């Protein structure tokens, strides 16, 4: 890199049906970064939107040299859209931010200055959640508690994907080729020097959240199964416990019958035991299935995503990521 060139910072923005908020988002971000002494590249990933998100991004690109477009071939989900952005980002540091203005772009200068202080991962941690239901808040809280307990990875609570990553942190993430990506966990997994910056989270500016409870549940399952095998162990011990209980009860029954005879046919106890055992077995098989299904998906080794169209920003072209050779084709 030529020495009088300013450092390049990439801002990676996954967007799925965000036509309503993107212009406002772009305007805000462009305003925030205009004053900063860096070159910028804003990488929009259109994650198979069914609205005019792609058109909006292309329009932004006409008027702003900093815009990079990655148009994925279909909807792959946020985690993968994000991975596509990280692999294409050319910056010396990469900011990850949601398109819906829930992550305040005003925080970007602070993230950058902590990165300059030598941190590899500086994540934005929310202090409050306005405009989110009590149910979502409590389930989110529970999820972080549980995953903290049962996996060895410390995932900071109340933290989204909004953060800045140093080049070596991005390079590390780009070497991961697993299909089930729980980004928050992966961000924590890489380690290095990490730091939190605090802010207040606003309600979504426009458009709708793409996360219903079914999606969140699956997200939680991915988070847990990709970071810990504790549920497998739990089912083992649950099985052992049930078997030991049944064995003890069997001995008791034999002795009981020998001493007192068997005046009452044991239908109720029988049916209870059968049902409990059946239930426990089904749960254990289900847990096995969750892992097995993921192993199945990983063994197929399909590309993570396919790109329909890739238009790098004039600002960033020629300044390819240092490890472009190690990133995945796609
Ligand atoms: N997103 C995406 N693909 C999806 C779903 C969401 O790229 O399949 C993007 C979305 O456009 C937004 C970010 O991921 O920029 C966060 O999505 P959302 O606001 O719906 O999630 P929440 O803020 O409720 O966690
Ligand atoms: Mg949101």
pLDDT digits (tens, 9 = 90+) for 56-70: 999 999 999 899 999
Rg (CA), the chain: 25
**Which segments within 112-179 are labelled E, that is strand?**
121-129, 159-166
Least distant ligand from the CA of 18: 1
Q: Are the beta carbons of 316 and 10 closer than 8 angstroms?
A: yes
Of 8-12, 201-205, 223-227, 313-317, least confident by mean pLDDT is 201-205
Lining ligand 1 with CB less than 6 A are: 14-16, 18, 47, 75, 77-78, 81, 98-100, 102, 209-211
Cα 47 to ligand 1 centre (Å)? 9
Q: Are the beta carbons of 159 and 124 closer than 8 angstroms?
A: yes
Q: Are the beta carbons of 108 and 32 closer than 8 angstroms?
A: yes
Cα 219 to ligand 2 centre (Å)? 15
pLDDT for the residue 114: 93
To which residue do tokens 């991961």 refer? 176
Strand partners of residue 43: 12, 68
Cα 320 to ligand 1 centre (Å)? 27
Q: Alpha-carbon distance 144 to 158, whole Å?
A: 8
Over 70: is that where the pLDDT of 326 sits? Answer: no
| Whole-Å CA distances, 87 to 215, 278, 327 | 25, 47, 6
**Structural element, H or E, at residue 21:** none
Q: Are the beta carbons of 95 and 170 closer than 8 angstroms?
A: no
> Which residue lies with its CA nearest to atom 2 of ligand 1?
78
Decide which of 231 and 167 is more confident.
167
Predicted TM-score of the model (pTM): 0.71
What are residue 102's phi and psi, to 5 degrees? -75, -25
Q: Which residues contact 97 (CB under 8 A, 6 or more apart)?
A: 11, 12, 13, 29, 103, 105, 108, 161, 162
Among 218, 115, 103, 104, CA closest to 161: 103
Over 60: is that where the pLDDT of 260 sits? Answer: yes
pLDDT for the residue 207: 64
Over 90: is that where the pLDDT of 148 sits? Answer: no
What is the percentage of the chain residues whose pLDDT exceeds 70?
88
Q: How many CA atoms lie within 13 A of 275 on its CB side?
A: 6
> Which residue lies with its CA nearest to atom 11 of ligand 1?
15
The sign of the dihedral angle between the CA atoms of 51, 29, 163, 132 is negative
pLDDT for the residue 330: 38
Compute the mean pLDDT over every residue in the chain, rounded to the nearest whole number.
Answer: 83
First to last CA, the chain: 26
The secondary structure of residue 23, as a DSSP letter, is H
Cα 90 to ligand 1 centre (Å)? 23
Q: Alpha-carbon distance 57 to 62, whole Å?
A: 9
Residue 74 pLDDT level (bands cut at 50, 70, 90): very high
Cα 199 to ligand 2 centre (Å)? 15
pLDDT, average across residues 103-118: 92
pLDDT for the residue 323: 44
pLDDT for the residue 208: 66
* Angle ∠(221,225,227) on CA atoms, nearest 5: 120
> Which residue lies with its CA nearest to atom 16 of ligand 1?
98
Over 70: is that where the pLDDT of 110 sits? Answer: yes
Q: Are the beta carbons of 12 and 89 closer than 8 angstroms?
A: yes
pLDDT for the residue 210: 67
> Which residue lies with its CA nearest to atom 8 of ligand 1?
77
- 76 Cα nearest atom in ligand 1: 8
pLDDT, average across residues 229-249: 80
Over 90: is that where the pLDDT of 9 sits? Answer: yes
pLDDT, average across residues 103-125: 92
Decide which of 100 and 297 is more confident.
100
């Amino acid at each position: 890199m030529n020495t009088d060139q300013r450092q390049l910072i990439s801002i990676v923005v996954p967007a799925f049906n965000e036509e309503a908020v993107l212009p406002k988002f772009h305007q805000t971000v462009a305003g925030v970064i205009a004053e900063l002494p860096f070159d910028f590249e804003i990488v929009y990933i259109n994650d198979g939107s069914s609205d005019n998100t792609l058109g909006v991004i292309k329009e932004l690109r006409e008027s702003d040299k900093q815009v990079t477009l990655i148009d994925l071939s279909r909807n792959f989900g946020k985690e993968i859209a994000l991975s596509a952005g990280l692999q294409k980002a050319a910056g010396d540091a990469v900011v990850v931010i949601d398109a819906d203005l829930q992550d305040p772009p005003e925080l970007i200068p602070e993230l950058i200055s902590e990165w300059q202080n030598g941190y590899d991962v500086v994540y934005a941690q929310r202090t409050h959640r306005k405009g989110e239901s009590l149910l979502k808040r409590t389930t989110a809280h529970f999820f972080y508690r549980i995953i903290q307990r049962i996996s060895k990875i410390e995932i900071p609570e109340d933290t989204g994907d909004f953060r800045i990553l140093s080049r070596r942190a991005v390079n590390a993430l780009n070497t991961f080729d697993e299909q089930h990506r729980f980004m928050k966990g992966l961000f924590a997994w890489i380690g290095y020097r990490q730091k939190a910056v605090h802010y207040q989270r606003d309600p979504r500016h426009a458009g709708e959240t793409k996360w219903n409870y079914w999606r969140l549940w699956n997200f939680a399952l991915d988070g847990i199964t990709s970071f810990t095998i504790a549920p497998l162990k739990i089912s083992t011990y649950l099985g052992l416990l049930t078997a030991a209980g049944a064995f003890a009860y069997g001995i008791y029954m034999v002795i009981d019958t020998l001493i007192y005879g068997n005046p009452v046919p044991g239908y109720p106890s029988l049916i209870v035991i059968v049902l409990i055992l059946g239930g426990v077995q089904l749960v254990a098989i289900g847990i096995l299935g969750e892992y097995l299904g993921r192993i199945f998906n990983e063994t197929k080794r399909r590309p993570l995503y396919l790109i329909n169209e890739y238009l790098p920003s004039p600002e960033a072209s020629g300044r390819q990521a240092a490890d472009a050779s190690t990133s995945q084709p796609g």
